[in-house]
Amino acid sequence: MKVVLSTLNAKYIHTSLAIRCLKAYSEKEFDIELAEYTIKDPVMNIVSDLYRRQPDVIGFSCYIWNIEETIRVLEVLKKVMPATRIVLGGPEVSYDTEQWMQRLPQVDFIVIGEGEETFHQLLQEIEGAGKYHFIYGVAYRKGEEIIVMPGRPKQDLNELPSPHRFPEDIPHLAKRVVYFETSRGCPFSCQFCLSSIEVGVRYFDIERTKSDILYLIENGAKLIKFVDRTFNIKRDYALEMFRFLIENHNGCTFQFEITADIMRPEVLDYLAEHAPPGVFRFEIGVQSTNDPTNELVKRRQNFTKLSRTVNTIKRSGKIAQHLDLIAGLPLEDYATFRKTFNDVFALEPEELQLGFLKMLRGTGLRLDAEKYQYTYMDHAPYEILGSHVLSFEDIVRLKRLEDVLEKYWNAHRMDHTLGYLMQHEFESPFDFFQAFGDYWEEQGWQKIGHQLEDLFTRLQAFLQQHGLKQPDRVYGLMKLDYLLNHRQKPRKIWWDDAPDRDRVHRYLQYIAQLPEGEGLPAAWTGSQLNERELHKHIVVEQLPFRLDAVLAGELALASADGSVLLVNYRQQEQSKPEYIILQEQRDRV
């Protein structure tokens, strides 16, 4: 019997862990292929590829972000392959399972919850006597009747084979994101999260985990994302794993979800001292800083301790941090969410993701939806449309904020500019992003694409309309940020007030005559550059503040008329331009 296990991923670079686990468990007994697509792939392309494979059974892994696209595939697939058995599994169909069977007549079976053993037994019965009533954790059809069997007890994780050692994966490891689990379950009870439904945390054997990671690294893996809900719940385990990864990373990057307020000081100290820059990345779910909200959704969180952890990690300069917020939680109105946003933004994470509450099937908050007057989408992703304290109009406004937050802050295209604006020109970060987001939509920019230059000109247009206390400083910082986004001299600049030609000529002439090594970047040392050659590689711009103060992170910019920014684009193995900062000396320039 031939089996194809499939899923529609968000992107081509992602790999599916779930279908690999099923294949690893059953491949010794059945002929199993993996078929991965994306949610952007045309339905006919997916169906054609599956038809070419001619499987007896096709299994799909279903989540909120791919279920509707998967359904469109099923509707066509069953028409062209009516004899093929279709099996669904995954968190999206593990709740309200009977409703899914009623909605999707194309589906023959649904595997509920943890799938390895259940799916294996299902394949045995499909090939054998068809005694599906012997299988715990499965839903099936008996004529017109839908049968949903009781759930299966949790498996001993150490009895499961590794899903990471398929030879056919090796050529793709360097180009794809590898998802990896060292445990299953979550110790917390957050009522908006599916992980709260499973009680307790189970771990895979740590030596097996290390062996699998070494195998992936040795075969070229460049990015491994751990899907554990709370990687640092056990201090000794986390510390041992961090130490192991530091000693064996070989250029691979590792991403974790951590709970920041329970991170022990000794773990933080170890990471600050030993973690190589860029090897670790932490995702931290803050969601809300409103204590009544957190108490209501059974989310235990100490924001003071969380802030201490985030700040300690940030000071080390070695680990990037991605913080999450959820708009729309109970008791969190527009004003309290503004405070939540500003509380978290004050931590200056490398990325701040603003999400919107989704009423996931099986969660406590979905069961209590009427209590808080939630309205939400009928189909996945079940995002809220309003609540007892947050109107649809509020949600739309926050969507605008989210859009510019992603384009400007998370993309890190204007770090110097945004830092100054939010500290000196706007009441708070929230107010800046909200005002800019509102203006962005008023101009209709959400309907069109944008290039790098567009982001600068659109911000400039907004700031001109808004008004600034210190426009010269802001536009000077924008020029700096624009140049920092280029590894070569830009073909054009978005501003039209460049220094006159005579001044540029004098600056370039002065630099060309400098003694070897004096004031020049290391990449130029020993070069004999004439003025013409300098002109090819340098942008000269006079800025109305001390640039060295900006580069040192000092936003209290002292006035120093005549400071000059010279950006070196003749790079060798450098990822960022170098700078020469020269105070204008009237007797020499």
The pLDDT tens digits of the residues spanning 194-221 come to 887 777 899 999 999 999 999 999 999 9
Mean local confidence (pLDDT), 493-505: 81
The whole-angstrom separation of Cα 362 and Cα 377 is 16
Q: Are 475 and 495 in contact (CB under 8 A)?
A: yes
pLDDT digits (tens, 9 = 90+) for 244-278: 999 999 999 999 999 999 999 999 999 999 999 99
Q: Are 363 and 192 in contact (CB under 8 A)?
A: yes
What confidence score (pLDDT) does residue 308 get? Answer: 96
Local confidence band at 444 (pLDDT 50, 70, 90 cut-offs): very high
- Tell me the helices (H) and strands (E) count for the chain, helix number first: 20, 20
DSSP H helices in 163-276: 206-218, 235-248, 265-274
Three-state DSSP class for 2? strand
What confidence score (pLDDT) does residue 368 get? Answer: 95
Q: Are 297 and 339 in contact (CB under 8 A)?
A: no
ω into residue 577 within 30 of 0, thus cis? Answer: no
The whole-angstrom separation of Cα 478 and Cα 567 is 14
What confidence score (pLDDT) does residue 531 get? Answer: 76
What are phi and psi for residue 280, nearest 5 degrees? Answer: -110, 150
- Of 466-470, 474-478, 569-573, the poorest mean pLDDT is in 569-573
- Of 67-76, 380-389, 470-479, the poorest mean pLDDT is in 470-479
What confidence score (pLDDT) does residue 579 get? Answer: 61
What confidence score (pLDDT) does residue 526 get? Answer: 47
Three-state DSSP class for 356? strand
Closest by CA to 299, choosing from 265, 321, 347, 332, is 332
Q: Are 126 and 85 in contact (CB under 8 A)?
A: yes
pLDDT at residue 405 greater than cutoff 90: yes
User: What does the mean pLDDT of the chain come to?
Assistant: 90
Give residue 267's Cα distance to chain centre: 24
What are phi and psi for residue 559, nearest 5 degrees? Answer: -75, 135
Distances (CA, A) of 246 to 210, 249, 251: 12, 6, 10
What confidence score (pLDDT) does residue 562 get? Answer: 57
Mean local confidence (pLDDT), 307-332: 96
The percent of residues in the chain predicted with pLDDT above 70, rounded, is 91
Burial label for 52, CB within 10 Å (0-12, 13-18, 19+), is: exposed
pLDDT digits (tens, 9 = 90+) for 142-195: 999 999 999 999 999 999 999 999 999 999 999 999 999 999 999 899 999 988
Amino acid at 190: C
pLDDT digits (tens, 9 = 90+) for 360-378: 999 999 999 999 999 999 9
pLDDT at residue 424 greater than cutoff 50: yes
What confidence score (pLDDT) does residue 571 get? Answer: 47
The whole-angstrom separation of Cα 533 and Cα 484 is 21
What confidence score (pLDDT) does residue 60 get? Answer: 98
Closest by CA to 180, choosing from 245, 130, 227, is 227
Burial label for 532, CB within 10 Å (0-12, 13-18, 19+), is: exposed
